[in-house]
Structure formats: C-alpha cells, structure tokens
Chain A
C-alpha cells in the first residue's frame, strides 16, 4: 500500500485529497476523485429518474435541498478550516444526492438541511475532509436525522404523500411484512412501485446504475455481490426454516435499501477496505448485521447502521488483510 501512505504524507502540504484507485494506475488519463465522482453521479441518474418518476415533486425537492445543503456545508466548513475549496471534485454533490435518495419522501425542509450539514460537517470535514473520513458521510447525515427526528421521520414520512400514485404511499414492504404480515408483489418491488425511501424502491434502477459503476471501475464488484449474496443466504435460510414460501426471502433481497445500499453506499472507496479479502470480510459483515438488525431490532430497515458499524471496523480489516508482497514473509 505505498501509494496510500505517500498520499497521507503529502496531504500535510497540499490539502486533504487522497486518491485511492485500483491498479494499474496508468490505464486511464485524468482518472481521479473528480472522474470517479462524475461516474457515480452518472450511475445515480437511473435511480434519480426512477425516484422522480415515482415520487414526483417530493423527489425533486429532496434532491435539491440535500445537494444544496451539502455543497454549502462543504464551502462553509472548508473555509473555516482555512483549506482551499474542494467543491469541484463533486464529492459533496455525490454525498448530497445519495443522502437525498436514502431519506423518506415527505419531510420538512429543515430536516434535509440539517442532514446535509451533519453529513459534511460531522461525517467528513471534522476528520480532515475527503479521504480521511471513517464513516460514510451520507449515512452519518441520515443516521443523525433519523435518530434526532424519530417522530417526523417515522411511518408518516412514507405514508402521508399526496399527488403520487397510491402504490408508493404507505408502509414500506419491510415494515408491512414485519409488523402486519402484509406482503408486496415481487414485480412491484422490482420496478419500484412501492413505498420506501426515495432511491431505494426501484431494484432495476439501482442495478443498472450499479453495473455502470462497476463497469467504470468506480466501485468494486466484490462488495455489492457479496452483500447481496450474504443477505440472500441468511434470508433464504430463515425463509426455508420458517416456511415463508419465498416471501421473506424476496422481501429482504429486493426490499429496503439492499440493492441501492449495496451498489452505492457500501462501495464508497474511502470507507470500505482496500484489499480483496478485506472487501469480502466487510461485505459479509454488512449483510450479516443488516439481517440481524432487520429481524431483531426496533428498526425494520437497518442497512444504514450495518454500514456505519462496518465502517468503524474498516481500519481494523485493512490491518488484518495487509497483502504480503512477493517474497515477503
């Protein structure tokens, strides 16, 4: 890992920009934070399109509020630290869009603003900016408002919508299954015609965007594949042993934030491990914790907490799986 060590040294002089890219480094000209972040934004287009189609003005409003608040938070906090402005690497915009897509459709405007400032301020700048953060900034912002405004972001935020199709207004599939035993049709979950957070409902949009990310090498295949496999195995085993005839299985595989989170949130290069084995370890942990918390905690969907917990142990995973150079002991 010599590149990384060097980059950390050089940040003392040049500012908090760390380039963690996969080898070979010479392959692509201009491949850097900016290009990677642009790829993420392009990959998010199908997800944004699906959410705007499904949730209409709710989605537009949320994406605009969260992106603007993340960008302004970045400008304000970077200036407070006396560093040069890093806003044009698009990382704050990516955080804002992912944050907006991970939040429920209906909520007051200030929740989005607070989430954006918490994401950038508490999630990123406090650790020294992009590349230094331990936790995924968007998830820090989301966790902050989810815990702070339990009332506002409760079931009402999903079910109290007007001006959209009835199908997307109501209890999310995981909530409905967990608390009232009502199940949602598989095809609706595939196309996204279900209630839920803005970006997570459409499986097909997340998969298209995610495959583009992997094709562009902005995300690694191991993490999403392994998370989905882990969730599928655990959900499948529970389904088989309890005789849910497949309903439990596909709800957990396609419902909640499984697809969106696996492709867009867990693959954040800064907060996920660097080596192949480390990525597998991280992904299995995320899938396992998600399923455990979905089944046994008070929250019907816990992908966010699973990501944050695994983010916390990522430095440890990196240390466990330091690759041995050829000829080394």
Chain B
C-alpha cells in the first residue's frame, strides 16, 4: 500500500482540496438544514467531528477483521453507536440546541461523509492516518458549515452568534434564514469555490 496518502496529506486534503461539502458534495442535507445560524452550525460540526473521529479510529483498529461483504453493516453500526452517544449527550447538556437540531443529529448515522471516510481511509490505513484524516475532514466540514451559516445569519438577521453586528436599521432578509436561502447560498458558494479553483488552475477563459 505504498501509494496511500500519508497522515499529513490526509489531514490537508480534508480541509480544502477534498472539502467534504464543496469538493465531494457530501452531507448536503444537514448542510442545508442547520446553517440558518452559527450556533446550530458549529454544534453540528462538532457532533460530526466527534462521530467521524471515533468511527474512523474504531474502524481502523478492526480493519483486519472486516469481511468485505459485511463491512458497510459494521461501519453503520459503529457510526450509530457514536451518534447515539452524541445525541444523548446533547439532549442531556444542551437541551435547547438538541431541540433546534431536531432529527439532524440522529441523521448523522446516514451521513455519507462518515461512511465515505471509513470506506476510503479508515478500513485501509492505520489508526494515526485514520485519525488525522478524520480531523482534517471535520475541519473542512466545519469551515463549510460556518461559511454558509455566517452569510445566512448576517443577511437574514443582521446578527452573528446572536449578537447584533450590522446596524439595527438593517432590513432582515428573512428569506436567507428560510430554506430557499440555504439553497441559494450553497449554490452560490459552490459556484464561487469552483470559480476560484478554475482561476487557480488557469482554466478560466
């Protein structure tokens, strides 16, 4: 397995070059659903980071025991265990946030980012690489959520983290905190990322 990326490569790739949201287009559903404010977005990013790190480490530890035809089941069960922990933790200590996020924490179980990382990296590489991969991907996911949430919360309410940052006379663009705002912002951000990428590679006419 000489051609597998090293731990540092995995870490860096996860942040921007293979950003889960902007480059791999994974985990779109929570990305659209929880980015109407910075607080839910960051909570979501932390929950995904916790689940991803634990699932990657466990999968990597048991990678030699995996049977090819059963591996997806094992991944899903591993992920479900940690999602349940995260869900119950939030419900116990951040009850209001747990209500706000609603079903999106349990839905991390079927979040493609985590299954993809288990499949691509953790089931083939040692623990250290898997862990650094998980951290890199989590940072990338967090950055994507925060960038979308910042735009939506500032335009939609004039606030950031619930603090007024634009003048009070700012007319709230209510549409931005509603579902259409999520689709518009995500689409424009994807376009922007692709545009920057094309410009960097000199593919722009």
Contact residues of A with B, CB < 8 Å? 82, 108, 110-111, 114, 122, 126, 144, 147-150, 152
Given A82-B205, A122-B184, also A150-B174 (CB < 8 A): yes
Distance between Cα atoms of A83 and B44 in the complex (Å) = 40
- Whether the pair B174, A149 counts as a contact (CB closer than 8 A) is yes
Smallest CB gap from B177: residue in A:
A148
**Which residue of chain B is the closest to A144 with respect to CB atoms?**
B175
Closest 9 CB pairs of A and B: A148-B175, A147-B175, A148-B173, A148-B174, A150-B174, A82-B205, A149-B171, A144-B175, A152-B171
Question: Which positions 148-191 of chain B face chain A at CB distance < 8 Å?
Answer: 171, 173-176, 178, 180, 184, 187, 191
Which chain B positions have C-beta within 8 A of A152? Answer: 171
What is the chain A residue whose CB lies nearest that of B195? A80
Docked-complex contact A149 and B173, CB < 8 angstroms: yes
Shortest C-beta distance, A58 to chain B (Å), equals: 19
Q: Please, how many residues of chain B have a CB less than 8 angstroms from a CB on the other chain? A: 12
Q: Are A148 and B176 in contact (CB under 8 A)?
A: yes
Q: Once the chains bind, are B205 and A147 in contact (CB under 8 Å)?
A: no
Q: Chain B contact residues: over half helix, strand or loop, or mixed?
A: helix
- Chain B residues with Cβ under 8 A from A114's Cβ? 173
Inter-chain contact total with CB atoms closer than 8 Å? 23
> In whole angstroms, how far apart are the Cα atoms of A152 and B171 in the complex?
9
Task: Point out residues on B near A: beta carbons under 8 Å.
Answer: 171, 173-176, 178, 180, 184, 187, 191, 204-205
Which residues of B are found within 8 Å of A149, using beta-carbon distances?
171, 173-174
A-B contact pairs, 23 of them (CB 8 A): A82-B204, A82-B205, A108-B171, A110-B171, A111-B171, A114-B173, A122-B184, A126-B187, A126-B191, A144-B175, A147-B174, A147-B175, A147-B178, A147-B180, A148-B173, A148-B174, A148-B175, A148-B176, A149-B171, A149-B173, A149-B174, A150-B174, A152-B171
Give CA–CA (A173, B176) in the complex, Å: 30
Complex alpha-carbon distance, A82 and B191, angstroms: 15
Cβ of B184: which chain A residues have Cβ within 8 Å of it? 122
A111 — nearest CB in chain B belongs to which residue? B171
- Return the chain B residue nearest A121 by Cβ: B188
B181 nearest CB neighbor, chain A only: A148
Measured CA separation A108–B184 after assembly (Å):
23
Question: In chain B, what residue has the closest Cβ to A83?
Answer: B205
Give the distance in Å from the alpha carbon of A114 to the alpha carbon of B178 in the complex. 17
Closest to B205 in A: A82
Other contacts beyond A114-B173, A147-B180, A152-B171: 15, CB < 8 A? A82-B204, A82-B205, A108-B171, A111-B171, A122-B184, A126-B187, A144-B175, A147-B174, A147-B175, A147-B178, A148-B173, A148-B174, A148-B176, A149-B173, A150-B174
CA distance A147 to B181 in the complex (A): 10
CA distance A114 to B205 in the complex (A): 29
> Which chain B residue has the least Cβ–Cβ distance from A122?
B184
Least Cβ distance of A57 to chain B in Å? Answer: 22
A152–B191 CA distance with the chains assembled, in angstroms: 31
In the assembled complex, which residues on chain B have CB atoms less than 8 Å from the CB atom of A122?
A: 184
Kindly list chain B residues whose C-beta atoms are within 8 Å of the C-beta of A82. 204-205
When distances are taken between beta carbons in the complex, the residues of chain A under 8 Å from B176 are 148
B187 / chain A contacts, CB cutoff of 8 Å? 126
CB-defined contacts of B191 to chain A, threshold 8 Å: 126
| A75 CB, min distance to chain B CBs, angstroms | 19
Q: Report Cα–Cα, A110/B171, bound state, in Å.
A: 10
- On chain A, the residues within 8 Å of B180 by CB distance are 147
Closest chain-B Cβ to A108's Cβ sits at a distance in Å of: 7
Complex: A91 Cα to B180 Cα, angstroms: 26
Bound complex: CA A188 to CA B197 (Å): 58
Q: Considering the chains assembled together, what is the distance between the CA atoms of A82 and B195 in angstroms?
A: 12
CA–CA, A191 to B63, complex, Å? 78
